[in-house]
Amino acid sequence: MPPKTAQISAILGCQWGDEGKGKLTDILASKYNYIVRSNGGANAGHTIYYKKGNKTDKFVFHLIPSGIFHPKTKCVIGNGCVIHLPTLNEEIEELKKHGIKIKNRFFISDRVHLLFDYHKKIDAAQENLKGAKKIGTTLRGIGPCYSDKVNRIGIRACDLLDFDKFKKLFKQNLEYQEKLYGKLEINIDEEVKIYQKYAKFFKEFIVDTTQMFIEATNKKEKILIEGANGVMLDLDHGTYPFVTSSNPSSGGLFTGTGIAPNKIKNIIGVLKAYTTRVGAGPFPTELQDKLGDKIRESGGEYGATTGRPRRCGWFDAILANYALAINGITEINLTKLDVLSALPKIKIAVKYLYQNKELKNFPASLEILEKIKPQYIELPGWQKDISNCKKYSDLPKNCQKYIKTIEKLTKVKITSIGVGQRRDQIIFQ
């Protein structure tokens, strides 16, 4: 059975991001009237592969929801995101090269916060100040922009529609930041000129998407919320401070779109068949050896946004269970199973030991997380190519055993299994 497509559904990354959310969103998009991004900004990199004639082409989304390749689906950037308009503009230009038109089917919340070049400069300055303790951010200005939002000095898309107000706010904000951080080398007049152009161009796309969703919900239209980043990068529930500055967990789905919590009927958790992380921070099941390198190479584990090598490790059932529980995940999309095909043995972490005792919770303390000793079970590999398997019964027995073991450990049904990058490389069960 393919994932349930309730009137309002969501897709959430349940590890440290890059689980394959973009691919699933693209696959399910044609079944929905709207796809909406609820959190994050261009720190996200969501990859899709699609058929163009008899060739396969690739697109990496940073801001636009991964459903835009389906001509009948409307795509929305929700209020919980932060957007850098020059990056969005580039993405729209790139889409044009792929033959995708956005008129009347792409919308930006008028409550979304705008991210400027100075946020990126502050991001870099803050990382430098942290020295060895740097987070390894994507340097996309995410933290500084959300800080402005929380600090109640942010500039929203609705402000751009009143350009005199925007100009005043932009100057005020930059002056404020420069008092804190010193000269940021931004040419105000030039920036204002550029934003005047953006104000004209984006005017037709900036709307009250909260009202749009109230109406769509009443009309029983179907909405899919596309989460960004991953639960373990959540500001509240992740491995703080090595996290992003928004809520990629289920809370962000509601605050980031204005869609009420009780309306969202199924939340599909995306889990890679192993674990990856890009940037610094604790990673209990990390493989800092040749095996980790091997997984990185076979999985093409290099950041879709920054190109950085992703750290790789075994599937962590403790972490997965924590993510599934706090987000109310109703079903799992297990991705990149094909990447493990060459391995003779595969491990899964099933228990954390700390000071020789089993930890019953996912600890808040970084010091504890760093000292944890994961306990593993070992399963036999299948050592057969599975990338052409179309149904569950085509998968080798040991591969089925691996899937069933994860299902048993998580007690959540795995309804789809990724066996390759392409749209057709997914098995529904």
State yes or no: is 234 an active-site residue. no
Give CA–CA dist 108/123, Å, rounded: 24
| Whether the Cβ atoms of residue 258 and residue 248 lie closer than 8 Å to each other | no
Sketch the per residue contact string, 120 through 149, with ligand IMO: x for CB under 6 A, - otherwise. Answer: ---------------xxxx-x-xx------
Identify which of residues 18 and 91 has a Cβ nearer to ligand GDP in the complex.
Answer: 18
Q: Does 148 bind Mg ion (CB under 5 A)?
A: no
Q: Does 311 bind ligand IMO (CB under 6 A)?
A: no
Tell me which amino acid residue 187 is: N
Partner from ligand GDP, ligand IMO, Mg ion, none contacting 20, C-beta within 5 to 8 A by type? ligand GDP
Question: Contact region for ligand IMO (CB under 6 A) — 39-47, 49-57, 125-133, 282-290?
Answer: 39-47
252 to 281, contacts with ligand IMO by CB under 6 A? 278-279
Catalytic residue among 26, 46, 234, 316: 46
Partner from Mg ion, ligand GDP, ligand IMO, none contacting 135, C-beta within 5 to 8 A by type? ligand IMO
Residue 105: partners with Cβ closer than 8 Å, 6 or more residues away: 68, 71, 73, 74, 75
| Interface pick for ligand GDP out of 338, 340, 349, 382 (rule CB under 6 A) | 338
Length of the chain: 429
Question: Contact region for ligand GDP (CB under 6 A) — 27-35, 234-242, 255-263, 335-343?
Answer: 335-343
Identify which of residues 217 and 249 has a Cβ nearer to ligand GDP in the complex.
Answer: 249
Q: Does 313 bind ligand IMO (CB under 6 A)?
A: no
Residue from 428, 226, 416 nearest 332 by CA: 416
Give CA–CA dist 236/163, Å, rounded: 35
Q: Does 335 bind ligand IMO (CB under 6 A)?
A: no
| Interface pick for ligand GDP out of 46, 113, 119, 237 (rule CB under 6 A) | 46
Q: Does 23 bind ligand GDP (CB under 6 A)?
A: yes
Q: Give, to the nearest 10 degrees, the angle between helix 188-202 and helix 163-181.
A: 140
Residue from 22, 88, 43 nearest 278 by CA: 43
Distance of CA 11 to the CA centre of its chain: 9
Segment (H or E) for 174: helix 163-181
| Whether the Cβ atoms of residue 118 and residue 163 lie closer than 8 Å to each other | no
State yes or no: is 18 an active-site residue. yes
CB of 21 to ligand IMO, least distance (A): 6
**DSSP string covering 342-402:** T-SEEEEEEEEEETTEE--S--S-HHHHHH-EEEEEEEE---S--TT--SGGGS-HHHHHH
Which are the catalytic amino acids?
A: 18, 46
Residues of this chain that bind ligand IMO (CB under 6 A) = 13, 16-18, 43-46, 135-138, 140, 142-143, 228-230, 233, 244-245, 278-279, 304
